[in-house]
């Protein structure tokens, strides 16, 4: 991947850099640039430093990377971390992100995604206001959000930068709130912000509570593969490397106050996604029966959005970005990666006390 950030950007702060997307972004920054990278992460249940640790020996010098372990809910340590890093650019990815967990424990999403973003914006405001005019002009605060803030689509529409906000889960409501905070701090205080809203990401190193890695692991264990409802819910899937490419492009070229929607042109029903995974596993790790026979329809998630889809015309026409990976190509790459990294998945399960059980509802599953 080519890093096209401006030459005078020397220091980058990534919040949530030990998460799935943040880790991918940091690996690319370390391997493909000479930028000093700071990772502000609370090291929660979904944080994992393994992929970055494996990258550091390839650099020759590990002095270009530093982990700043802090929780954005802590106003004082957040402000101290920003002041210490002295960033030219901030990628704000830190967030609680699993819809099912937000149904069980909405308070942690309000704290992390709303209060945490507020504390970060306040810290950035204090930091930015004391910079020289030259560095103020260079600085960017890039907030990474989700298409889920727009709610649920009918069969033919797609989300764009002008879509109305209509969040329908505690998670998406908390992310919508953080979007509005970032926009307000830009218009009220002049902070040079950027906002991107992406579709569902997937790829290597994703915490195995999310759909694609969870299905892979359940299939390999010959466990039932649960699909909510009738499996007709549609998501637009985006390979994580394509997403990171878009983030870097927006950060380096977009005007302050810009908002871009980033989609993968990978619309699939949940049943289609799971069936595709089973087909790949039949080829790569065959068992005595087709993996598809493990699929089981279960009671639907409360408030389950029917369809997401993103219109990426604006980022394509203005910045020239388009996804480079087809869904089929990226999905097989992902399945192959998990097949060779089962030990990492099992270690995460042991560390976090999660073994693939359903979360997000107290209702009884269908038999």
* CA 77 from centre of chain: 24
* Active-site hit among 150, 171, 228, 338: 171
Q: Of all helices (H) and strands (E), which one includes residue 32?
A: helix 20-32
Q: Are 122 and 79 in contact (CB under 8 A)?
A: yes
User: For the ranges 118-127, 158-167, 233-242, 340-349, which has the lowest average pLDDT?
Assistant: 340-349
Q: Where are the alpha helices (DSSP H) in 231-303?
A: 240-253, 270-284
Please give the CATH number for the structural domain made up of 11-206+237-266+307-325: 3.40.50.720
Q: Are 47 and 70 in contact (CB under 8 A)?
A: no
pLDDT grade, residue 348 (50/70/90)?
Answer: confident
* Active-site hit among 96, 147, 179, 242: 147
* Residue 359: predicted pLDDT: 62
* Active-site hit among 88, 96, 148, 242: 148
pLDDT grade, residue 248 (50/70/90)?
Answer: very high
What's the whole-number average pLDDT of the chain?
93
The arithmetic mean of pLDDT across residues 135-162, rounded, is 96
Is 223 catalytic? The answer is no
Is 148 catalytic? The answer is yes
Kind of pairing between the strands at 11-15 and 36-41: parallel
Please tell me the pTM assigned to this model: 0.94
The answer to whether residue 365 scores a pLDDT higher than 50 is: no
Which residue ranges make up each domain of the chain?
11-206+237-266+307-325
Is 189 catalytic? The answer is no
The whole-angstrom separation of Cα 256 and Cα 141 is: 9
């Amino acid at each position: 991947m080519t890093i096209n950030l401006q030459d005078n950007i020397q220091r980058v702060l990534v919040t949530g850099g030990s998460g799935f997307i943040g880790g991918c972004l940091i690996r690319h920054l370390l391997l493909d640039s000479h930028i000093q990278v700071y990772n502000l992460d609370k090291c929660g249940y979904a944080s994992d430093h393994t992929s970055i640790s494996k990258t550091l020996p390839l650099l020759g010098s590990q002095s270009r990377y530093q982990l700043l372990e802090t929780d954005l809910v802590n106003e004082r340590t957040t402000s101290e971390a920003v002041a210490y890093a002295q960033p030219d650019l901030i990628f704000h990815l830190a967030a609680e992100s699993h819809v099912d967990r937000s149904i069980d424990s909405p308070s942690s999403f309000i704290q992390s995604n709303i209060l945490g973003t507020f504390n970060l914006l306040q810290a950035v405001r204090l930091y930015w206001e004391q910079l020289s005019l030259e560095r103020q002009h260079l600085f960017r605060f890039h907030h990474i959000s989700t298409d889920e803030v727009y709610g649920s689509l009918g069969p033919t529409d797609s989300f764009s930068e002008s879509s109305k906000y209509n969040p329908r889960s505690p998670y998406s409501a908390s992310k919508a709130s953080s979007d509005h905070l970032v926009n307000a701090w830009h218009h009220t205080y002049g902070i040079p912000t950027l906002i991107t809203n992406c579709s569902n990401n997937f790829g290597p190193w994703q915490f195995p509570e999310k759909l694609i890695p969870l299905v892979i692991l359940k299939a390999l264990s010959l466990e039932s593969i649960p699909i909510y409802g009738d499996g007709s819910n549609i998501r637009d899937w985006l390979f994580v490397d394509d997403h990171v490419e878009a983030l870097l492009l927006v950060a380096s070229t977009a005007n302050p106050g810009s908002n871009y929607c980033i989609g993968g042109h990978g619309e699939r029903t949940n049943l289609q996604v799971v069936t595709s995974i089973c087909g790949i596993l039949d080829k790569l790790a065959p068992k005595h029966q087709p993996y598809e026979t493990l699929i089981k329809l279960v009671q639907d998630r409360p408030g389950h959005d029917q369809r997401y889809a993103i219109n990426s015309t604006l980022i394509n026409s203005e910045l020239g970005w388009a996804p480079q990976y087809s869904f089929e190509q990226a999905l097989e790459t992902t399945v192959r990666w998990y097949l060779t990294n089962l030990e990492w998945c099992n270690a995460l399960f042991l560390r976090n006390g999660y073994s693939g059980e359903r979360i997000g509802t107290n209702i009884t599953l269908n038999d």
